[in-house]
């Protein structure tokens, strides 16, 4: 079942690429849409059959390269299932978004949709396989394969469909930077492999065995390598510098996937690999992650405040939001001053935050694509009074911004409330510092809304004749459901929390052993 879920998009991508030239490029996006819908149905079926208390389920394990200790092992638990579901939702949104008609900045010869639609659809299908594979992988090398391929896929999205020459530079920076992280990760994995007896890369075996318990320096080096690799991907301060250019110059759907899914690979790596496999050193160095998390939260918010470009601003708020996740995970590793429930609450909050950030930021990045399509730019100062010509755009953007602030009623509130409640007991200072990030984020989002949506209508000269048109049906259909889902999680969160909580408790149990 999981194997089908993971590899179906890749299969469709292969069919699209090998299809004869007679099949027009226009037909590719609908095929992609159908595949993304099928994936969503599959993941809903998996969710329906999932028993929250049952640990890892739908597991499939096969020998792959036994000589090297590598196996094919996939499965989902309460930490990975929500992210797998998020992946399916967000890729469906990206597919819907790609249905929109070509506009000023994406003037195309294909008559509609993005240029080179065949390659575009194939690349996103490939990325969906990679993302689902990563979230379901239970073998370190399998995880690494998908981790690395996500970088390759996103490189081509940014370099091929980004905004001009700058995008190629940004894509190169993204590739080199995150590839450095992935090699650090690989060295860390090898360190784990060599410590286990018999040597294995299997996550479940390694978690059971805890091979690095009581091996101070070796374990610390492995955590350093894995932590560095994941911190670059997440990204946390000071390893975040690749993120703003990559986001700014990527196409809207690419940004949405990059922020919504690919960043989660870093934080998911912490809960799936760093914490359960290296519990001893995680406890020992948890404070480092707490500090990094709080620092990222505040620094990301402050730098976002100073941005003049909408997309850069949203990109920096990602650093801020991921900072909360890291803060919670660090706090979950500190045993003094808390109890099991507080630590499990922090981990639950961190996981909800991953889902919530994926939905909200994904929607915001898709909305920012509207600015590029109509006006070819993202400068905040260039726009004013957009609520006049584009009321729907203004309304949806306002809802998205409020959700990103963490207003009660949206998923971000649930997540951040749990994170802060869970972390406060052991880390009052860091939590208080991180809390200021919420205030700053609120200020910057409200300021941007105020400047761009309200007031007299003023548009940059690059807007094509006909003015700033409102959201098209495809754009609406891509963004509104994401925010709607965030609202559902914010109001009736139990369906999500019931899945996450048992897994979070199991994880904190592993960390505390």
Partner 1 sequence: MNENPAALLPELFPAGAAVAGLLAGAWLPRRRQWAVAVLAAAACAAGLAATAVTMATGREQTVFAGTFAVDAATGAGRLTVLGGLLLVLAMSAETFRGRAREAEYYVLLLLTATGTLVMTGANDLLTLFSGYLLASVPGYALAGFARDRAGGEAALKYYLMGALLGTVMLAGAVLLYGAGGTTWYPGLREALPGAPPGLVAAGLVGVLAGLMFKSAGVPAHFWLPDAAEGARPPVAAYLTTLPKIGGLIGGFRLLHQALGGSGVDWPLLLAVLAAATMTLGNLAAFFQDSAARLLAWSAIGQAGYLLMALAVADLGEPARRALLFYLAAYTVTNLGAFAVVCELPRARTLADYRGLARRRPGLAAVLLVCLLGLVGTPPTAVFLGKLEVFTAALDGGFGWLAVLAAANTVASLFYYLRWLAPVFRSPPPPPPAPGGGRPEPLATALGRWAAAAAYLAAALSLLLGIAAGPVLPLTTGPLLG
> Contact positions toward partner 1, by CB under 8 A?
63-68, 141, 144-145, 148-149, 152, 156, 159-160, 168, 172, 175-176, 179-180, 183-184, 186-187, 190-191, 193-194, 221
Burial of 381 from C-beta contacts in 10 A (0-12 / 13-18 / 19+): exposed
DSSP 376: S
Smaller CB separation from partner 1, 67 or 461: 67
CB of 168 to partner 1, least distance (A): 6
Closer to partner 1 by Cβ: residue 183 or 398? 183
Question: In terms of CB distance, is 61 or 168 closer to partner 1?
Answer: 168
Give the nearer residue to partner 1 in terms of CB position, either 50 or 64: 64
Closest CB 286 distance from partner 1, rounded Å: 25
The nearest distance, CB 174 to partner 1, in angstroms, is 11
Minimum CB separation from partner 1 for residue 180, in Å? 5
Distance CA 359, CA 338 (A): 31
Residue closer to partner 1, measured from CB, 91 or 201: 201
Enter the tokens of residue 478: 């891509």
Cβ proximity to partner 1, 162 vs 300, nearer residue:
162
CB of 156 to partner 1, least distance (A): 7
**Contact of 122 with 16, CB cutoff 8 Å:** yes
What is the C-alpha separation between 234 and 100, in angstroms, rounded? 30
The verdict on whether omega for the bond into residue 198 sits within 30 degrees of 0, i.e. cis, is: yes
Please say which residue, 221 or 446, places its beta carbon nearer to partner 1: 221
Q: Which tokens belong to 458?
A: 């003023």
Question: In angstroms, rounded to a whole number, what is the distance separating the alpha carbons of residues 59 and 2?
Answer: 8
Is residue 395 within 8 Å of 389, Cβ to Cβ? no
CB of 179 vs partner 1, minimal distance in Å: 6
Which DSSP helix (H) or strand (E) runs through 71?
A: strand 70-76
Token pair 């797998």 is at which residue? Answer: 84
CA 288 to each of CA 236, 293, 427: distance values in angstroms, whole numbers, following the listed order: 12, 8, 12
CB of 225 to partner 1, least distance (A): 9
Query: Closest separation between CB of residue 476 and partner 1, Å?
Result: 32
Q: How many Cβ atoms sit within 10 Å of the Cβ of residue 444?
A: 25
**Number of other CB atoms surrounding residue 108 within 10 Å:** 15
Task: Give me the DSSP letters along 217-244.
Answer: HHHHHHHHHHHHHHHHHTT-TTS-TTHH
Nearest to partner 1 of 157, 438 (CB atom): 157
């Amino acid at each position: 079942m999981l194997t089908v879920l993971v590899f179906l998009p890749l299969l469709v991508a292969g069919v699209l690429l090998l299809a004869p030239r007679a099949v027009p490029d226009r037909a590719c996006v609908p095929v992609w849409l159908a595949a993304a819908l099928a994936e969503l149905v599959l993941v809903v079926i998996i969710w329906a059959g999932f028993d929250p208390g049952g640990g890892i389920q739908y597991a499939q394990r096969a020998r792959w390269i036994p000589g090297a200790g590598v196996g094919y092992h996939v499965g989902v638990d309460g930490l990975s299932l929500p992210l797998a579901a998020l992946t399916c939702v967000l890729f469906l949104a990206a597919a819907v978004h790609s249905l929109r008609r070509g506009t000023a900045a994406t003037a195309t010869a294909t008559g509609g949709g993005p240029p080179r639609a065949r390659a575009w659809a194939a690349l996103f299908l490939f990325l969906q396989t990679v993302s689902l594979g990563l979230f379901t992988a239970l073998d370190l090398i399998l995880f690494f394969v998908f981790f690395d391929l996500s970088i390759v896929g996103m490189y081509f999205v940014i370099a091929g469909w980004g905004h001009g020459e700058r995008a190629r530079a940004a894509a190169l920076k993204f590739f080199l930077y995150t590839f450095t992280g992935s090699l650090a990760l690989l060295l860390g994995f090898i360190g784990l492999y060599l410590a286990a007896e018999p040597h294995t890369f299997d996550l479940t075996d390694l978690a059971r065995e805890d091979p690095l318990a009581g091996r101070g320096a070796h374990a610390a080096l492995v955590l350093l390598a894995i932590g560095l690799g994941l911190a670059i991907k997440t990204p946390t301060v000071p390893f975040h510098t690749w993120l703003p250019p990559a986001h700014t110059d990527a196409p809207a759907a690419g940004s949405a996937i990059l922020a919504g899914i690919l960043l989660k690979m870093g934080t998911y790596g912490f809960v799936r690999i760093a914490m359960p496999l290296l519990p001893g050193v995680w406890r020992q160095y948890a404070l480092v992650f707490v500090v990094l998390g709080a620092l990222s939260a505040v620094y990301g918010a402050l730098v976002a405040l100073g941005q003049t470009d909408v997309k850069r601003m949203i990109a920096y708020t990602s650093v801020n939001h991921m900072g909360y996740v890291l803060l919670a995970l660090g706090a979950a590793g500190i045993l003094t001053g808390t109890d099991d429930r507080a630590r499990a609450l922090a981990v639950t909050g961190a996981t909800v935050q991953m889902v919530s950030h994926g939905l909200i930021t994904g929607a915001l990045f898709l909305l920012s694509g509207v600015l590029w399509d109509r006006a070819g730019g993202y400068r905040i100062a260039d726009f004013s009074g957009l609520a006049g010509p584009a009321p729907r755009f203004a309304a949806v953007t306002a809802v998205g911004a409020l959700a990103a602030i963490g207003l009660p009623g949206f998923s971000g509130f649930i997540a951040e409330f749990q994170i802060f409640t869970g972390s406060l007991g052991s880390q009052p200072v860091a939590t208080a510092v991180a809390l200021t990030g919420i205030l700053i984020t609120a200020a910057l989002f409200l300021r941007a809304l105020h400047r761009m949506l309200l007031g007299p209508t003023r548009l940059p000269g690059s807007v094509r004749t006909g003015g700033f048109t409102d959201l098209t049906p495809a754009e609406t259909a891509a963004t509104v459901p994401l925010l709607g889902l965030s609202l559902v999680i914010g109001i009736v969160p139990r369906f999500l929390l019931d899945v996450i909580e048992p897994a979070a408790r199991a994880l904190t149990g592993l960390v505390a052993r």
